[in-house]
Structure 1
C-alpha cells in the first residue's frame, strides 16, 4: 500500500513540476491593474484576493491563523510544496528578501500544497524567515483563483496594499524581476 501511494505522489509531483516549468516559459504576464487603483485605496479587496483574506489556515506549528491579518500590506504570496524542487530552491532567497524588507510594510507568506507534517518538518529544518501556512490540496484551488490557470508550482502572487493583484509568477522566481516589481509599487 505504501509503495502504491508513493508512486502516485511521485507521478503527481513530476506532473506538477513539469506543468510549472512549461507554464513559466509561456506565461509570466502581469495582471492588469484596476483603473484608478493608485488614485484611491480600496475599502476592501474583491474577488480572489478577498477569498485569500477569508482563509483561516494552520501555520507550520499547527495554530490556525486568519490570513486577513495581512490585509492592507503589500504581499508576496508563494504557493509551494516540499516535493517541488524549484519551490525549495527559491525559499532561501525569499527568506533573504523578507530579511531585507525588515522595517518595511512588505510581507512574504508561503502557502504549502502539502501535508501539515511535511510542512512542519520542512519549516523546522530550513528555518524559513516568513510565515508558512498549510494549504493542503485546497491551496491549489486558491492559487487557481489568483491566476494559476495551469496549477503549477511554484506560483507567486504580488498583491498591493490596495488588495489588487499586481503580478503573478509561475515557475521559479527571477529575483531581479521581483525586486524591480516591488520597487515600482
Structure 2
C-alpha cells in the first residue's frame, strides 16, 4: 500500500509538471531575479522590455504596433512580460494574432507585489503598459503608458554601434 501511494504521488507530480514542459522556453515565470537574467542574456545589446497585461486595454491595442516595429527591425530584442495574473495559455492566441507569437515572453504567477515591482524598476507603481529601454551599457529609459514607437525607433538608432 505504501508503494502504491508513493507511485500515485510521483505520477501526480509528473503530470503536474507536464504543462510547464509543454510551454517551453517561450513561457517563463517572472520573479525578482528575472530582470537580472534577461539583462545578462541580452548584455551588450539594446533591449526593449515591455510589461503588459491581458486586462489592460491600452496594452492590447499596442501589441500589434510592437509587432510592426519588430517586422521593421528583425534584430530587435523585444521581451514581453505579462504582468497580470491571466494564465499564459490564455494570452497565447492574443500574442499570435498581434504577430508576437515568437517573441521571448515571461509572466507573473501571483500579484505584482512591491518586491517584484522594485526588482523591475524602483520608481514603478505597477501601471501598465510600462516599457524599459535598456542600452548596451545598462542605462535605462523608462516609458510609462503607451510608448511612442517612433521615439523607440530613434532610441534604437542611437544605440547602434558606429561602424569603423
Find out whether 1:154 has 2:115 as its counterpart.
Answer: no
1:15-59 alpha-carbon deviations (Å, 9 max, x no partner): xxxxxxxxxxxxxxxxxxxxxxxxxxxxxxxxxxxxxxxxxxxx9
Q: How does 1:44-123 map to 2 (within 5 A)?
A: 62-64=23-25, 67=38, 68-102=40-74, 104=75, 106-113=76-83, 114-123=86-95
Segments of 5+ residues of structure 2 without an aligned counterpart are: 1-19, 29-36, 160-164
TM-score computed with the length of structure 2 as normaliser: 0.62
Tell me what 1:134 maps to. Answer: 107
- Measure the CA separation in 2 of the matches of 1:180 and 1:143: 27
Q: Secondary structure at the match of 1:184?
A: helix
Tell me by how many angstroms 1:143 deviates: 4.3
Go from structure 1 to structure 2 and tell me whether the alpha carbon gap of 1:183 and 1:132 turns closer, same or farther (over 3 Å shift).
Answer: same
- Measure the CA separation in 1 of the matches of 2:97 and 2:116: 26
Tell me what 1:54 maps to. Answer: none
Q: Which structure ranks higher in relative contact order (CA pairs < 8 Å, sequence separation ≥ 6)?
A: 1
Contact 2:128 2:144 in 1 (8 A): yes
Cα RMSD (Å) of the superposition? 2.7
| Number of aligned positions between the proteins | 124
Which one has a bigger Cα radius of gyration? 2
- Measure the CA separation in 2 of the matches of 1:164 and 1:149: 16
Segments of 5+ residues of structure 1 without an aligned counterpart are: 1-58
Tell me by how many angstroms 1:139 deviates: 5.7
Tell me by how many angstroms 1:163 deviates: 2.7
Go from structure 1 to structure 2 and tell me whether the alpha carbon gap of 1:182 and 1:142 turns closer, same or farther (over 3 Å shift).
Answer: farther
Contact 1:143 1:155 in 2 (8 A): no
Contact 2:51 2:130 in 1 (8 A): yes
Go from structure 1 to structure 2 and tell me whether the alpha carbon gap of 1:130 and 1:173 turns closer, same or farther (over 3 Å shift).
Answer: same
Contact 2:130 2:143 in 1 (8 A): yes
Go from structure 1 to structure 2 and tell me whether the alpha carbon gap of 1:95 and 1:125 turns closer, same or farther (over 3 Å shift).
Answer: closer
